[in-house]
Amino acid sequence: MNRYLIAAGAIVALLALVILFSPFYTIDPTQQVIVFQFGAPQAVETEPGLHTKIPWVQTVTYIDKRLLNLEAPSEEVIAQDKKRLVVDSFARWRIVDPLKFYQTLLDQDTAILRLTPILSSNVRRVLGAQNFSAVLSGERAQLMRDVCDNMNQETKDFGIKVVDVRIRHADLPPQNSDAIYKRMQQERLREANEFRAEGSEISQRIKARAEREATVLTAEATREAEILHGEGDAEKTKILGDAYGQDPDFFAFYRSMQAYRDALPGNNTSVVLSPNSEFFRYFLQTQGSAPNAATRPRKH
C-alpha cells in the first residue's frame, strides 16, 4: 500500500513540475524564437533570456541567428573568352526574418537545398561574363560582391541575407592543366637548349681565341728561338774561324780528334780502313818523322 502511495506521489510531483515549468522557455544568444498558438505564428522573440508562454496553447520553434555556411559543389565555368575554369565557391548567410524564413523555407536543410543552386547559377553567370584573366586577377573581389548582390536580390523573400561569397579554388580542368604543364615543359626545354647553344658558342669562341693566341705565342717563341739559334751558330762560326786563323794546324788536329771520338764510340767498335788512309794520318807519325801539325809550336 505504501508503495502505491509513493508512486502516485511521484507522478503528482512530476505533473506539478511540468505544469510549473511549462509556461517558461529560454532563448540562447545564438537563437531566436517563433511563438505559435494553435499552430499559427503569434510573435517572434529575439532577446536572449527567460520567456513565458501559455501552457498547452502556445509552442515555440527555435531559429538559428548565427552566420551559416553554404557550400556549392565544384563546377566548370566557361569564361567569356571560351576558356574553362573549375570553380569551388561558398557563401556565408544568416536568417534576418525568422517568420518569413519559416514560412518559405521551414528549416536550414530546406534552405540549403534551395540556396545551393542559386549560388551556383550566379557564380556561373557572373564569372561567365568575364575573361579568364579577370577571374584570376584582383577583379575577383568585385565579382564576388556582384554574386552576393544577385543572390540577395533573388532571396529577398526568404527572410535571409547573404553576407559574403568567396571562391575557394579556381583551377583549370585536369586535361587543360596537363596540356599547360606539357607546354611549360616544352618551353623550359627550348630555353634550356638555347642556353646550351649559347654556352657552346661562347665555349667555341673562347677555345678559338685561346688556340689563336697559343699559335701566335708559339710562332713568336719559335721565331725568337731561331733568331737565338742563328746568332749562336754565327757566334760559333766566328769563334771557330778565329781559332782556325790563330793556328790552322792545331785546329785541323783538334777536328781530327773530334772525328775519331764520333767515329769510334764505345770499346767494341770496328772500322776497316786502309793503313794509308788520310783518316789515320796523325797515328802514322813516328819518332824520327818531321814535325807535323801535332808537334809544331802553336802560334800565339
- The tens digit of pLDDT for each residue in 256-265 reads 777 777 766 6
Q: What distance in Å separates the CA atoms of residue 244 and residue 299, rounded to the nearest whole number?
A: 11
Number of structural domains found in the chain: 2
The residue from 32, 47, 64 where one domain ends is 64
Quickly list DSSP for 68-134.
EEEEPPPEEEE-TTS-EEEEEEEEEEEES-HHHHHHHT-SHHHHHHHHHHHHHHHHHHHHHTS-HHH
242 in a structural domain: no
Which residues have C-beta within 8 Å of that of residue 284, sequence separation ≥ 6? 275, 276
- The tens digit of pLDDT for each residue in 76-122 reads 888 777 777 888 889 999 999 999 999 998 899 999 999 999 999 99
44 and 90 within one domain: no
44 and 99 within one domain: no
54 and 105 within one domain: no
The domain in which residue 100 lies consists of: 68-172
Q: What is the pLDDT of residue 281?
A: 63
| Report for 160-164, 224-228, 290-294: range of highest mean pLDDT | 160-164
Q: What distance in Å separates the CA atoms of residue 139 and residue 79, rounded to the nearest whole number?
A: 14
262 in a structural domain: no
117 and 92 within one domain: yes
Grid cell at residue 283: 797515328
51 and 76 within one domain: no
Q: What is the pLDDT of residue 159?
A: 92
164 and 85 within one domain: yes
Q: What is the pLDDT of residue 296?
A: 43
Q: Are 148 and 89 in contact (CB under 8 A)?
A: no
Q: What is the pLDDT of residue 282?
A: 62
CATH number at residue 123: 3.30.479.30
Q: What is the pLDDT of residue 112?
A: 93
138 and 44 within one domain: no
Query: Does the pLDDT value for residue 179 go beyond 80?
Result: no
205 in a structural domain: no
35 in a structural domain: yes
58 and 7 within one domain: yes
- The tens digit of pLDDT for each residue in 122-146 reads 998 888 888 877 777 778 888 889 9
